[in-house]
Structure 1
Amino acid sequence: MNLDKWLVEFKETADRTLLRGMDDTTGLEERIRMNIEKKGKKRFRFIYPVSAALVAVALVIGFTPYLLQKESTTSIHSPNGTSAEPGTNQKPDPKAHSASDDQVIMETVDEIVGALRVGLTQEQIKEKISVPYTVVEDYGGSGDDGTEEYWGFSIFAKEGYQRKDWTMIETEALLKRDVGLEMLVGWKDKKLHWYTISYVQGKEVYLFKLNSNGTVNEDVIDVPKDGIQTPPAPSIFDLKPEEEDRFYNYMYEKKDDLLRGLSPIDVWKLYVKAQQEGQLEMQYALHIEDDGFEKPTPEQYLEDRKKDPIGARNSWKQLKKMRELASDITLEQTSDKEAVVWVTFKDNRDKVAYKMLKNKQGFWKLSWMARQ
């Protein structure tokens, strides 16, 4: 038997058919060679007359677990704990578990964010994330926001891991790498209403939330030290107490009279706060609505936000970076009815401009597509 010749023929046939999706079949070829040599020549005589293509089918079926394992190492459908079992004299490598791999965790978070959106059915979620889930009963079956049911997912969890309490973020388990991601989904009318992902990167735990209106929040979880939480860093976007009162009054009433006497910067800071709070209706109301300006309807504006979770996440990151790095806010008055708000940054990156317009009633509003 010319084993090398047979393997060449097998490899050429398999590369054209069954294994065309694999980047490298060298490892598989070596495993086949070892298996054949162990079986011995006498047993192989009954197999050899079969064509190489059919033998390839039989051998690939025999190696299916290996192929599936290789293809699913970063999939949210079947996250594996380790890529291979350690040998008898081999010490287990803690880095082999996906919960220890920041890149795999982050790629999985990105994949989930790109795949899920408000309004998906439970069956659609099961197709996208086939990790076992827990129906969470601790919430009493109904939430203040209309949520009727809760599902919990533990992704990249080590064997034996069980979440203690779905009402709290498992920061300790995440930091110990007992689990890579924790996900909680809220359902309304059997459709996705909102979800959260808590995940670990380095020595920090993050919380991502897709809200029911399509907006997102994502930030580091402040783990209290000695029972004391770190106060948020001051920002030039922070509102004074009277500005806070005006913000909440406008958020609930949407009456432009509350904007009387405000400068373009004052109105723009209310808009930034509305972005931070995920208040889409208020953001819409702070845009100019005069005739002659192309604008979406309120319904279109709200519905479009639900369809673009990646865009919502990018907007949140952009806002967060601006709040952290902005050093100054200045106004350029280009005419009686037009102005530009400029934001300057500490790291000398390019300034950002927002176009402001005065409406027919004399109130400053944001232009549609205000960011220049």
Structure 2
Amino acid sequence: MADYLLFATERYALPILQPLADALQDAGHAAHAWLVDGAAQSRLAPPVRRIAGAREAVDLRPRAVFSAANWVPPFVGGAKVQLFHGFNVEKREDARGHFRLRGLFDLYCTQGPATTLPFQALAARAGHFRVVETGWPKLDPLFGTPPPLVAALRAQAGGRGIVMSAATFTERLSAAPHLYEAIAAEVAEGRRYWLLTLHPKCAPALFERYRALAGPNATFIEPEQLVEAECAADVLLADTTSVVSEFAVQRKPVVTFRNRAPKPHMIDFDDPARLPAMLERAFAPEPALQAALDAYADSIHPWRDGRSSQRVIAATDALLAGELGRLRRRPFTALYRGLQIRRELGYWGPTGH
């Protein structure tokens, strides 16, 4: 049995790590969780064991550290594996966003060709990490046996169509403040059932407004329940959040409000008064829209067997066995970033091996 460490800085990382933890345990390994910053008050389901701090993480000497954050503590031993906390939704330029290299990871487990090809090009130039397309652990439950909550949500809908609403926390891109009145009117009408969710970093006042809509026609979904909501819903209403891509992987219609980079698979609009018409179209998608959804899903996440977590473990084993080749030394910037991370975590002890 080997020890593995799961690392997260935000609550939204937990649905990414849980399927991987389950796969590790099924394979006879021990999964430990180190949750800091925004994830510090959360937990992963037992028997995942919680790590109390940096010293305990170092003493664990894990075989690998799986990170669902932009960074990973470099002083902890084991292979450093990047799982990503979302899809590339073009919120920022590539140099600042999804394809930014921080020099901290040995292996990038990519979601699909749209991510794999750019990272392979970066790996060829940098040489200090490898890339394996595995699919994304977070989506494993979408393609396996639906979790119990899915059936419960569908039962609450009572046969009505289900709309899930989601929003990014980025103020200039968020639909939540602009669509509140239109969504509230739809909820009050009761023609469809609503699953309401917000990014954990959204303003508390916004959370209060959306939570207040819960009732016979809507329920509020916590970040840890996001995948179950995606599985239960028929249509997504969102903005430039990466939830758009997660939902579209199921080949289900997505309605977006002022998306930063609208694509053919999206039903994008910019006037809240048009929301009812956009939903009508989403619940009866034309063939061209469905074809665009299928093509997009294949480009970002073609894996539909629910076994991405197992592929992540296999890729990590291959890296550690030397089957992916020898890595170059990490860049000097990684050393500087490592010192920053030590300061942020308050740890100046020895490095793990």
Report the TM-score, using the length of structure 2 for normalisation. 0.25
With a CA cutoff of 8 Å and minimum separation of 6, indicate the structure with the bigger relative contact order. 2
Return the structure number with greater strand share: 1
Report the TM-score when normalising by structure 1. Answer: 0.24
Larger Rg: 1
